Structure 1
Amino acid sequence: MEEYERLSGIGYKDIEPWIAPVAARKLAADAISVEEKNLLVNEIRRRLHRS
């Protein structure tokens, strides 16, 4: 994340609101493993409960 911020000039505060929607979109992608789906669902749930 630090490298991305340095190269893009975009900080975590700008990216953070997009993490849950991007994770939700990725759930619909083909060819992701059950393990990755579980990680995405857990991250989405964590973020939803935090807000």
Structure 2
Amino acid sequence: PKGNTHDVKGFGIGLYYTKKIIEKHDGTILLVANAKNTVFKITLPYE
């Protein structure tokens, strides 16, 4: 795609849709990053 400056295929919209789906289920997504890794923590309600 135009504007893609790294060697990863895709359009970069996956995380956007992931967040929207999680929020539709009254959940949350949290990003924790440091120099060595990145962690996405997803929390969904349990009935």
The TM-score normalised by the length of structure 2 is: 0.32
Higher relative contact order, chain-length normalized (CA < 8 Å, sep 6+): 1
- Mark the structure with the bigger radius of gyration: 2
TM-score, normalising length: structure 1 = 0.29
Q: Which has the higher strand share?
A: 2
Bigger fraction of residues in helix? 1
